[in-house]
Amino acid sequence: HSYDSPATSLFIKAYESIKSQPYGNFVEKTRNIYNAFLTANQGVKRSRQEISKTKHFTNPFYNDYNVLIDLSKKVIDQEGSDFDSQHESSAFFFDISMLFEYFIRKLIKRDGVRLLSKFEHRYEIPAGALGNYMRKLEPDLVFESDGGLYVFDVKYKAFDPQFGAKREDLFQLHTYIGQYGNGASIKGCGFVYPISEERWAALNLDKTQGLVSDVIRQHGQDIPFHVLFLKIPNNTSLNFNKLMSEQCCLFMDTIQSRILTKEKIAAWA
């Protein structure tokens, strides 16, 4: 059986693109993974155009690699950028919001919550196009407990404590729960935001365990609505890894005790 695929070549190219940058030394920590991809690639050479057309895996077993495919394409697309410029796209050479979403997904899965894969169970709605084009609905997080679904979006942006979530984000969330509610009971919904240690303290979020809750009404039902924060410790702290691990545990404790209504279920995706 051969493990070679266009995705393997894509991952190798993305690694080499990062390694060639002035800040690229940090990827040396993952050199063993790079070597594994080289072995799997079996020396096959593919053009940039060919690897840029790499498609998502359809086998659920490889679904986690689909996020890596998206990130790798972003890295390669930015390869020629001027990283010293003030252009918005050069602030981060790949989409950091996607990484944060992926991080949150991993936290939830590792805690034993039944998380639906983002690349399955997709809903589509008519877009009013002249052809047959349909808009895909892809919430960041859909997890299952107590016979119902929880629908959340992950936002890597500053939270406005006065006005809350952005208008367009709320509209999008309503669309998600309206569509998913056609086939399942929606037990909860909302947003996940990162927040700095300083802002956490300023907003007195210790009092609520980093959770703001309300109710949304759809389909004649009251649906719990939550804004959940993950506190990010000061990155200058010598104990950052330990502090971050503690915050991740507290974050999941809040989900389990304040959002999910009943038992933990084995992870799947």
The two tokens of residue 265 are: 């279920």
Q: Dihedral angle at the C-alpha atoms of 74, 78, 83, 87, nearest 10 degrees?
A: -90
What mean pLDDT value characterizes the chain? 83
Per-residue model confidence (pLDDT) at position 89:
44
Segment holding 221, helix H or strand E:
strand 221-232
- Residues 193-233: pLDDT tens digits? 999 999 999 999 999 999 999 999 987 899 999 999 999 98
Describe the crossing of helices 6-19 and 64-77 by its angle, rounded to 10 degrees: 50
Percent pLDDT > 90 in the chain is 36
Average pLDDT over residues 56-64: 81
Listed range (65-79, 97-111, 180-194, 199-213) with the worst mean pLDDT: 65-79
Q: Is the pLDDT of residue 3 over 80?
A: no
How high is the pLDDT of residue 16?
A: 86
Strands (E), 49-98: none
Distance separating alpha carbons of residues 187 and 221, to the nearest angstrom: 10
Strands 134-137, 123-126: pairing kind: antiparallel
CA pair distance 100, 110, nearest whole angstrom: 15
Burial readout 221-253 (b: 16 or more C-beta within 10 A, e: otherwise):
eebbbbbbbbbbbeeeeeeeeebbeebbeebbe
Please tell me the distance from the alpha carbon of residue 169 to that of residue 60, in angstroms, as a whole number. Answer: 28
Q: Give this prediction's pTM.
A: 0.68
Domains present along the chain, CATH in parentheses: 6-94 (no CATH), 99-259 (3.90.320)
Q: 160-184, pLDDT tens digit by residue?
A: 999 999 999 999 999 999 999 988 8
Chain-centroid distance of CA 29 in Å reads 23
The structure tokens 């691990």 sit at: 245
7: Cα within 13 Å, side-chain hemisphere: 16
Question: How many Å apart are CA 46 and CA 161, to the nearest integer?
Answer: 49
| pLDDT of 1 higher than 70 | no
pLDDT of 38 > 90? The answer is: no
pLDDT at residue 27, rounded to an integer = 65
Of the chain, the end-to-end C-alpha distance in Å amounts to 24
**CA 251, 254, 260, 262 torsion-angle sign:** positive
**Strand, helix or coil at 240?**
helix
